[in-house]
Amino acid sequence: MSNAYATPLHLEIRVPFWWPLSLAVLHGFVLVVILLLPISVAVQAALLSFFLALAVWQLAPWVWPRHPRRIRSAVWGEGDLWRLQCGDGRRLEAQMASQFYQLGPVTQLHLVAADGRRYQLTLLASMLEAQTLRRLRVRLRLFALQDHSAQHAAPHL
């Protein structure tokens, strides 16, 4: 990475009010569709139970500030090393997996903690300051180029 991006990048993550609300509405639509399906009551009950549990599991980190799966802040240090601050106060060291996802206002990072647990950090454009988001995207592009060149480097004989 170039010297301009060698300094740690601090991400203070803000959760916009509309994000958990839109997730809840989306899950509500899924539940209504299941109710309208022409299937047996037992299958309907099983699907409703599954998707209701999934909705609670996905919404909990966004609506409960001290949830253990919530990542409050992250610091991208040297290379692919990250320091995460979780909602319950834990601090974790993690490495970024080689894959990440960027499309429009959404950036999704896959991190692996030292104990092997995987964390998925989904960032919307409104969750970070504009300058921080720009720096993150530039560093991700540099990381991808660096990772790609390391994977395809010819071995020295």
pLDDT the model gives residue 4: 52
Q: What are phi and psi for residue 143, nearest 5 degrees?
A: -60, -45
pLDDT above 60 (res 6): yes
pLDDT the model gives residue 150: 57
Cβ distance 91 to 85 under 8 Å?
A: yes
pLDDT above 90 (res 91): yes
Region of 104 on the Ramachandran plot (φ > 0 left; ψ -120 to 50 alpha; else beta): left
pTM of the model: 0.77
